[in-house]
Amino acid sequence: MTTPVEVRQARPTDAATLVEIEAAADALLIDRFGATDWPPPASAAERSALPGFILVAEQPDHAAGSPAVIGFVHVLEIDGHAHLEQLSVLPESGRRGIGRRLVAEALRTARTRGHTQITLRTYRDVPWNAPFYASCGFVETSPDSPFLADLVRVETELGLSRHGARVQMTALL
């Protein structure tokens, strides 16, 4: 039996949990790459200060008596541009369609907020990165704005490409 999952807007009380979820999800990449210098997750204050929206996936937690947040998607809205900044799901809740549902809701929400496309940057050859996003309707594109060029610059400064090829992807809404 599949546990029901609800997707909703994040609340301020979710902020600390999002840091924990991102750290747990990042551990999969750290293990895959053997990365000893992986950048830490955005702090609760950093993430909440960024413009855009955050959606969370929660499921009933019968032991705690209240729903538990198990994943999130963060979409930046900068200079009229929508950019999927982060998608993270707790590894123990992975491979159940939760990430796909969060992406679908992020696309729907971005469209209702007036965007015609949404971008992201990810690893080309990690199965749960570019191949996953391609299955959600994203295609590889080139950075075509100062905002996207700045993201490439930040990735270069962080040295993310030493772990594999980075790509930009775009979905039309």
How does DSSP assign 17-44, residue by residue? Answer: HHHHHHHHHHHHHHHHHT-SSPPPPPPH
Determine the Cα–Cα distance for residues 22 and 13; give it in Å rounded to an integer.
16
- Would you say residue 3 has pLDDT above 60? yes
Asked if residue 67 is part of any domain, the answer here is yes
The residue count of the chain comes to 173
Average pLDDT across the chain, whole number: 93
With CA atoms as reference, report the closest residue to 116 among 172, 78, 75. Answer: 172
Asked if residue 153 is part of any domain, the answer here is yes
Domain count, the chain: 1
**pLDDT the model gives residue 2:** 59
Asked if residue 85 is part of any domain, the answer here is yes
% of the chain exceeding 90 in pLDDT = 84
Q: Kindly report the CATH number assigned to the domain that includes residue 158.
A: 3.40.630.30
Asked if residue 12 is part of any domain, the answer here is yes
- Would you say residue 21 has pLDDT above 50? yes
Mean pLDDT over 145-160 rounds to 94
Domain extent for 43? 6-172
Least confident of 18-22, 65-69, 159-163: 65-69
Asked if residue 1 is part of any domain, the answer here is no
Q: Which two tokens stand for residue 31?
A: 């293990």
pTM of the model: 0.93
Asked if residue 49 is part of any domain, the answer here is yes
Q: How confident is the model at residue 63 (pLDDT cuts 50, 70, 90)?
A: confident
